[in-house]
């Protein structure tokens, strides 16, 4: 253990004997990796590369404040740890950092009048949603990592769920939050629904991946459980006509919560399974809310899809997608195999760039991959996001790591070159930090660094994440 860490832990044990602290090698190994694909390769290579010196599991925000104040005093580096489902290397303990696991922050408080509920940073998406459902509410937030990602991590990475077209991303869903700053101060943002009182401070933390503070509570917007929910499918002659149909209903303010358009290649297996016409592209749509509104949305979406050459395929395909929506087979199985590597690179672009971004990302990856899947599943008034999922195989896990880095570089650079960004919702971590300046520009990075240097001059909190 690093000397400074040893002194820190010794002092904590003395002053806070009730504090849960893990220092055994097995425990440190469990926390050492999240779900960044390269971490799978490190597991399969010899000794694991980077272990945290210790993991602390505080039971309250007040204890986190003390831990950070003391860490500042003793110059101890810290990594906040949520559900460990992060996929961009945001929790790699490259410098034997101490991890702070937020799992004991389990507050749940509902305010039906304000249509909000508070989630402690350590509640998983599924736990919070079940508690809401019991009271007759939903947050509409269903990321695929629903059962493992927790609210602190999801706010920190600005996560998104599959019902996003209606309910939005974490930055749309969070009304207010509480955060411990690197020196131990606690900031609570105002609960008013809108502010014109300087920058809305919650946005310094949503998507900041723990570099500016540890989020302890998130106040989410909530909605009554829907009266009606229905899924359906259409096939389109090609990806272009599918995207045009979606752009047309989005610009009129029609927002079915689930919109998932698969390109010609990823559609193939779905077409086979569902017995649809070969060579077409599949779209699954999901609607929920008041029954009359659902039926009106369906009617309007159907008119627009049919006008763009679609065939209506009924409810079966959409229902099947819904039943399997949390399955991550395929991608993660590839990462676990010898030499195998896979990842979903998710970027966003304006409507007039998204098709080129998709085509070019697919083109650059295909020569190095067994196969590449692409779909569009988060849509906005001004553009869309595309997932480009590569699956590649090398001879061993060292070459697998190299191959991963090559594919990531090709994909991100193809996005940037064609008008897309670096990440739509998985975040940057350490994996994509090199490209951040291309998205934000020199002045943008200057601003991010200036804030970091002011509030955390020794870069003790999540050093290296976002390149800070």
Instruction: List interacting residues with ligand FAD (CB under 6 A).
Output: 34-35, 79-87, 90-91, 102, 121, 143-145, 148-150, 152-154, 156-157, 159-160, 209-210, 214-215, 328, 425-427, 429, 462, 465
Q: How far apart are CA 246 and CA 69, in angstroms?
A: 50
| Smaller CB separation from ligand FAD, 420 or 427 | 427
Catalytic residue among 371, 387, 404, 446: 387
| Smaller CB separation from ligand FAD, 291 or 455 | 455
Q: Is 212 annotated as a binding residue?
A: yes
Q: Is 87 annotated as a binding residue?
A: no
Smallest distance from ligand FAD to CB 97, Å: 10
Q: Is 209 annotated as a binding residue?
A: yes
Smallest distance from ligand FAD to CB 214, Å: 4
Q: Is 213 annotated as a binding residue?
A: yes
Told to judge if 40 belongs to the known catalytic residues of this protein, a careful annotator would answer no
Q: How far apart are CA 461 and CA 80, in angstroms?
A: 8
Spatial neighbors of 468 by CB under 8 A, at least 6 apart, are 211, 448, 449, 452, 459, 462
Smallest distance from ligand FAD to CB 422, Å: 14
**Which residue has its beta carbon closest to ligand FAD?**
153
Smallest distance from ligand FAD to CB 105, Å: 8
| Smaller CB separation from ligand FAD, 91 or 165 | 91
Smallest distance from ligand FAD to CB 295, Å: 28
| Smaller CB separation from ligand FAD, 159 or 280 | 159
Q: Among 151, 95, 143, which residue's Cα sits nearest to residue 120? A: 151
φ, ψ at 13 (rounded to 5°)? -60, -35
b/e for 8-33, b at 16 or more Cβ within 10 A? Answer: bbeebeeebeebeebbeeeebeebbb
- Structural tokens at position 233: 């499918």
| Smaller CB separation from ligand FAD, 180 or 271 | 180
Q: Is 211 annotated as a binding residue?
A: yes
What is the rounded radius of gyration, in angstroms, for the C-alpha atoms of the chain? Answer: 22
Smallest distance from ligand FAD to CB 144, Å: 3
Spatial neighbors of 376 by CB under 8 A, at least 6 apart, are 242, 243, 246, 259, 260, 261, 263, 354, 358, 384, 385, 386, 387
Torsion (CA) 293, 299, 301, 305 in degrees, nearest 10 = 170
User: Under DSSP, is residue 284 helix (H, G, I), strand (E, B) or coil?
Assistant: strand
End-to-end CA distance of the chain: 24
> Half-sphere exposure of 340 toward its Cβ, with a 13 Å CA cutoff?
14
| Smaller CB separation from ligand FAD, 157 or 235 | 157
Active site residues: 387
Annotated binding site for FAD: 209-215
């Amino acid at each position: 253990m690093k000397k400074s860490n040893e002194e820190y832990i010794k002092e904590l044990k003395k002053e806070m004997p009730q504090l849960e602290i893990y220092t055994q090698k097995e425990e440190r190994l469990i926390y050492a990796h999240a779900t960044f694909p390269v971490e799978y390769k490190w597991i399969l290579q010899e000794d694991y590369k980077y272990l945290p010196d210790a993991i602390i599991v505080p039971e309250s925000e007040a204890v986190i404040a003390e831990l950070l104040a003391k860490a500042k005093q003793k110059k101890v580096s810290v990594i906040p740890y949520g559900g460990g489902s992060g996929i961009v290397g945001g929790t790699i303990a490259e410098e034997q950092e101490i991890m702070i696991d937020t799992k004991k922050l389990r507050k749940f408080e509902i305010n039906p009048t304000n249509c909000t509920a508070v989630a402690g940073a350590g509640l998983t998406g599924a736990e919070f949603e079940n508690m809401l459902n019991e009271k007759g509410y939903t947050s509409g937030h269903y990321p695929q990592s629903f059962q493992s990602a927790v609210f602190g991590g999801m706010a920190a990475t600005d996560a998104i769920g599959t019902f996003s077209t209606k309910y939005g991303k974490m930055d749309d869903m969070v009304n207010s939050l509480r955060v411990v700053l690197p020196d131990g101060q606690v900031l609570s943002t105002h609960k008013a629904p809108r502010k014109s009182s300087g920058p809305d401070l919650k946005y310094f933390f949503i998507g900041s991946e723990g570099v500016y503070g540890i989020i302890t509570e998130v106040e989410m917007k909530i909605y009554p459980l829907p009266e009606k929910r229905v899924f359906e499918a259409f096939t389109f002659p090609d990806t272009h006509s599918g995207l045009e149909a979606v752009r047309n209903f989005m610009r009129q303010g029609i927002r079915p919560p689930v919109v998932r358009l698969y390109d010609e290649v990823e559609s193939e297996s779905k077409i086979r399974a569902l017995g649809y016409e070969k060579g077409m592209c599949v779209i699954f749509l999901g609607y929920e809310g008041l029954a009359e509104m659902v039926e009106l949305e369906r009617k309007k979406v159907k008119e627009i899809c049919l006008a763009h050459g679609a065939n209506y395929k009924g409810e079966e395909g959409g229902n099947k997608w819904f039943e399997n929506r949390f399955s991550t087979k395929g991608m993660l199985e590839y990462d676990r195999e010898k030499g195998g590597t896979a990842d979903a690179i998710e970027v966003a672009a304006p409507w007039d760039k998204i098709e080129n971004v998709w085509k070019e990302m697919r083109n650059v990856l295909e020569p190095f991959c067994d196969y590449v899947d692409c779909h569009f599943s988060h849509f906005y008034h001004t553009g869309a996001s595309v997932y480009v999922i590569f699956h590649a195989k090398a001879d061993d896990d060292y070459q697998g790591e190299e191959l991963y880095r090559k594919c990531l570089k090709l994909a991100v650079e193809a996005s940037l070159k064609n008008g897309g960004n670096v990440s739509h919702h998985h975040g940057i971590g350490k994996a994509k930090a090199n490209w951040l300046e291309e998205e934000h520009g020199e002045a943008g990075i200057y601003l991010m660094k200036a804030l970091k240097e002011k509030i955390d001059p020794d870069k003790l909190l999540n050093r290296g994440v976002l390149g800070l």
